[in-house]
């Protein structure tokens, strides 16, 4: 079991202050989060974020930054320790003789700060902002609402300032209120894509949204200026940072809700921290992963720590209304002059990247964290159905690869040619024009979630409606070949091959997903969907296979051309669609294909190490997962799981997701009812693990000296499904 003692070995501790925000530690409760660091002068900085803080430009913004300074000043050179604790998701800081404890309350939208010393000191708290005046954003990113990839931006991206005002004595409040604009990003985005008639059916997701924080320091405090509060000298201080988003809201409604939230909050930090710690204790008990080694101790430690810290960051930012953004999530610190900045922009969710954060949650038992991401696709289904009918004149739904949270394509990718003047309705960006295969994988993830949880509601309210419309799209959209099979054309193979016929992700994806549906609990719960899937499965073209160097290999498509990116679509039949792998036919062909892959990479969203695990390549998987956990993969930040930007942004959360999924599949793989233990586990790594499996089932085990010493599976009747290592 992941006890506090076992977790403490992977805590992060620093003995010197940090130069800037790149030396921050993360705290979060799933909805409210903060980066915390100490500057060389002893100031404690808290950069706050919230899951639903979308501004007028659909940028996921920071709420503000709090600076804490003691009077008399602290001396970090006398003594300094800053420690992040996994077990209770808190940060403890000792500066000179002054102690701090900070945590984002797991049960309330509040970041709590405690200051303690044997002597009496005053605390000066300042609420800092950077959106202080209207201005035009100079550097727009691919995903920003008004970005034009092929020419001058037609509309400026305008930044609206925050407002700072006093609350009651001892309080400072900052908020951002999205007012209606003549050039409204939401309505322009929808009309640009020919979806203007849907605007009245979707409440504007941006206009009227209001978010902010209240710094509450106590009624005995005094205002030093409009942003600063001086808390009088004493031995113990409590400061609460309340976060609130309302949509839609007026400023008066927001203030009233904030006042109600503050007045209804617990005043006793001891009680609050006890309940907070209890939540995290329950969270860590869901699953377990500890790797040790006598001959490879450093890599074993790094991989375990990376796994645990990534899982922590998922929980710390994954319980809000919206999904975790792969490009930094809530813990990006942006640029020094703009904490809101993130590469690829603020608005969009990239399916290929996002899924790699969510796949590992199944084995970890973190099903509640998956809900916001799945909910986004369920909520946007009516728009996708309308889009499909309007664009192509047939039933069904296709989801864009890069999507706003209300379901539209990212504007820059779609293109700025007015819809009425376009020759064709698809996105103009050639990387994404026919890239709709994510919906197949979404179906598979839903099937697996139902298998892992046994949740009827997921079947009837998520997979049922989404699956029916996705399959209708594939049934109606593509022509039939001379042999009566579906012919996926025009199509592309991910972002890599911009022209393809019968690309592997579509062919393997439907073949595997529909078979999985047929033989799963989801199929039992949704017999009509299973029947619909059976019709499509009967007319699928064969898996693309060909000759290379005189040997049979898997291909990215029956025909491909116009190579532009660095994915290996031919390997999608290994992951995410497990047609080939350990214990499956033609393993040699799959390994030959893998060995001949065009792109070899151990970072970011590249899936090499997951595919190594599924192919039973233990030594190679160990090498790649160790390299993924190594220090050079987070060298731009001090915290050892703030992964470098790579293709994305800091922290690159899909980098950590791939690591998690690879380790899980090195330990345990399943195929239908069959459970295979240690299919790709290195001989010199010991392990203690507890993972969730379809069934639902939970398996726990202990590996020593390359041997499985012990395992238990619940329910016990599943023991006969387990294949032990040879």
- pLDDT value for 17: 97
Instruction: Write the burial class of residue 307 (CB in 10 Å: 0-12 exposed, 13-18 middle, 19+ buried).
Output: buried
Q: What is the mean pLDDT of residues 369-397?
A: 98
pLDDT at 322: 98
State the distance between the two ends of the chain, measured CA to CA, in whole angstroms. Answer: 27
pLDDT bucket at 427, cuts 50 / 70 / 90: very high
Answer whether residue 204 shows pLDDT above 90: yes
Euclidean distance between CA atoms 509 and 442, whole angstroms:
10
- Beta bridge partners, 80, equal 95
Name residue 723's beta-bridge partners. 676
Distances (CA, A) of 648 to 20, 204, 353, 605, 643: 21, 28, 9, 9, 10
Q: What's the burial of 41, exposed, middle or buried (CB within 10 Å: 0-12/13-18/19+)?
A: exposed
Q: Name the 3-class secondary structure at 112.
A: strand
Two tokens at 42?
């002893």
Question: Length of the chain, please?
Answer: 726
CA distances 56 to 27, 180, 186, 214, Å, are 26, 8, 9, 21
pLDDT at 367 over 90: yes
Instruction: Give dist(CA 631, CA 623) in Å, integer.
Output: 14
pLDDT of residue 268: 87
By DSSP bridging, strand 402-403 and strand 674-677 are unpaired
Q: Give me the mean pLDDT over the 586-614 stretch.
A: 97
> 388 pLDDT band (50/70/90 cuts)?
very high
Q: What is the pLDDT of residues 238-279, one digit of tens each?
A: 999 999 999 999 999 999 999 999 999 987 899 999 999 999
**Residue 190: pLDDT band by 50, 70, 90 thresholds?**
very high
Burial category of 336 from C-beta neighbours within 10 Å (exposed 0-12, middle 13-18, buried 19 and up) = exposed
Cα–Cα distance for residue pair 85/534, rounded to 1 Å: 50
**pLDDT tens by residue, 528-556:** 999 999 999 999 999 999 998 889 999 99
**Structure tokens given for 35:** 């980066």
pLDDT at 406 over 80: yes
Structure confidence by residue, pLDDT tens digits, 492-504: 999 999 999 999 9
Distance CA 667, CA 690 (A): 10
Q: What is the pLDDT of residue 456?
A: 93
Antiparallel, parallel or unpaired: β 288-292 and 722-723: unpaired
66-84 mean pLDDT: 94
Rounded to an integer, the average pLDDT of 97-115 is 97
185 pLDDT more than 80: yes
- Give which of 257, 237, 115 is closest to 173, Cα–Cα: 257
pTM exceeds 0.85 for this model: yes
Residue 247's pLDDT is what?
98
Read off the DSSP letter of residue 461: I
For residue 384, what are the contacts with CB-CB under 8 A and spacing of at least 6?
A: 397, 398, 399, 407, 469
Q: How high is the pLDDT of residue 2?
A: 83
Alpha-carbon distances of 393 from 333, 386, 390, 435, 489, rounded to whole Å: 45, 10, 6, 19, 17
Statement: residue 1 has pLDDT above 80: no
**What is the model's pLDDT at position 277?**
98
Q: Provide the pairing of β-strand 163-166 with 171-177.
A: antiparallel
pLDDT at 108: 97
> What are residue 378's phi and psi, to 5 degrees?
-65, -45
- Residues 286-297 pLDDT 10s: 999 999 999 999
How far is the C-alpha of 720 from the C-alpha of 700, rounded, in Å?
15
Q: Beta partners for 722?
A: 675
Full set of structural domains in the chain with CATH: 4-285 (2.70.98.50), 301-723 (1.50.10.10)
| pLDDT of amino acid 674 | 93
């Amino acid at each position: 079991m992941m006890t506090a003692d076992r977790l403490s070995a992977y805590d992060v501790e620093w003995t010197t202050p940090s130069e800037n925000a790149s030396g921050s530690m993360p705290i979060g409760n799933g909805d409210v989060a903060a980066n915390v660091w100490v500057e060389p002068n002893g100031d404690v900085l808290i950069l706050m974020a919230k899951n639903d803080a979308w501004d007028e430009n659909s940028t996921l913004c920071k709420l503000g930054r709090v600076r804490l300074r003691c009077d008399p000043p602290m001396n970090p050179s006398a003594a300094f320790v800053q420690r992040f604790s996994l077990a209770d998701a808190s940060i403890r800081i000792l500066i000179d003789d002054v102690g701090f404890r900070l945590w984002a309350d797991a049960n309330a939208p509040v970041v709590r700060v405690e200051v303690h010393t044997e002597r009496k000191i005053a605390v000066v708290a300042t609420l800092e902002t950077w959106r202080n005046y209207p201005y035009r954003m100079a550097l727009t990113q691919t995903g920003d609402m008004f970005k034009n990839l092929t020419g001058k931006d037609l509309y400026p991206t305008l930044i609206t300032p925050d407002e700072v005002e006093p609350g009651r004595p001892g309080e400072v409040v900052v908020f951002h209120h999205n007012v209606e604009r003549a050039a409204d990003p939401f309505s322009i985005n929808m009309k640009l894509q020919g979806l203007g008639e849907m605007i009245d059916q979707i409440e504007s997701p941006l206009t009227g949204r209001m978010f902010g924080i209240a710094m509450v320091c106590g009624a005995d405090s005094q205002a030093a200026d409009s942003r600063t509060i001086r808390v009088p000298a004493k031995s113990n201080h409590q400061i609460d940072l309340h976060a609130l988003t309302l949509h839609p809201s007026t400023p008066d409604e927001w203030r009233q809700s904030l006042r109600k939230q503050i007045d209804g909050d617990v005043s006793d930090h001891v009680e609050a921290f006890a309940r907070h710690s209890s939540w995290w204790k329950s969270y860590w008990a869901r699953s377990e992963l500890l790797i040790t080694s006598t001959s490879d101790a450093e890599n074993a430690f790094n991989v375990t720590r990376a796994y645990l810290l990534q899982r922590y960051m998922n929980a710390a930012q994954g319980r809000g209304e919206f999904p975790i953004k792969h490009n930094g999530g809530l813990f990006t610190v942006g640029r020094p002059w703009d904490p809101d900045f993130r590469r690829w922009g603020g608005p969009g969710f990239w399916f290929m990247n996002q899924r790699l954060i969510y796949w590992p949650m199944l084995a970890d038992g973190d099903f509640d964290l998956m809900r916001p991401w799945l909910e986004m696709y369920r909520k946007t289904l009516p728009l996708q159905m309308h889009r499909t009918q309007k664009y192509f004149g047939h039933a069904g739904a296709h989801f864009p690869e890069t999507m706003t949270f209300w379901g539209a394509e990212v504007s820059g990718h779609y293109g700025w040619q007015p819809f009425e003047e376009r020759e064709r309705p698809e996105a103009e960006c050639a990387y994404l024009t026919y890239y709709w295969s994510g919906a197949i994988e979404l179906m598979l993830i839903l099937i697996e979630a139902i298998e892992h949880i046994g949740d009827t509601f997921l079947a009837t309210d998520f997979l049922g409606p989404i699956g029916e419309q996705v399959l209708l799209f594939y049934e109606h959209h593509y022509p039939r070949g001379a042999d009566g099979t579906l012919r996926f054309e025009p199509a592309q193979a991910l972002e890599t091959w911009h022209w393809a016929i019968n690309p592997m992700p579509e062919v393997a994806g439907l073949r595997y997903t529909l078979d999985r549906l047929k033989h799963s609990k989801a199929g039992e719960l949704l017999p009509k969907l299973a029947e619909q899937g059976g019709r499509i499965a009967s007319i699928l073209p064969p898996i693309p296979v060909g000759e290379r160097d005189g040997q049979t290999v898997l291909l990215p498509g029956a025909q491909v051309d116009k190579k532009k990116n660095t994915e290996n679509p031919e390997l999608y039949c290994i992951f995410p669609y497990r047609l080939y792998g350990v214990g499956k036919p033609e393993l040699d062909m799959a390994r030959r294909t893998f060995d001949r892959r065009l792109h070899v990479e151990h970072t970011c969203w590249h899936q090499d190490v997951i595919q190594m695990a599924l192919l039973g390549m233990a030594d190679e998987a160990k090498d790649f997962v160790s390299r993924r956990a190594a220090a050079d993969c987070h060298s731009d930040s001090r915290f050892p799981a703030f992964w470098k930007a790579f293709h994305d942004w800091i922290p690159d959360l899909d980098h950590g997701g791939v690591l998690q999924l690879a380790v899980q599949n090195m330990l345990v793989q399943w195929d239908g009812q069959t459970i295979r233990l240690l299919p790709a586990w290195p001989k010199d790594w010991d392990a203690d693990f507890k993972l969730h499996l379809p069934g639902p089932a939970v398996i726990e085990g202990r590996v020593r000296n390359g041997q499985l010493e012990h395992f238990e599976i619940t329910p016990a009747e599943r023991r006969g499904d387990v294949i032990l290592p040879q």
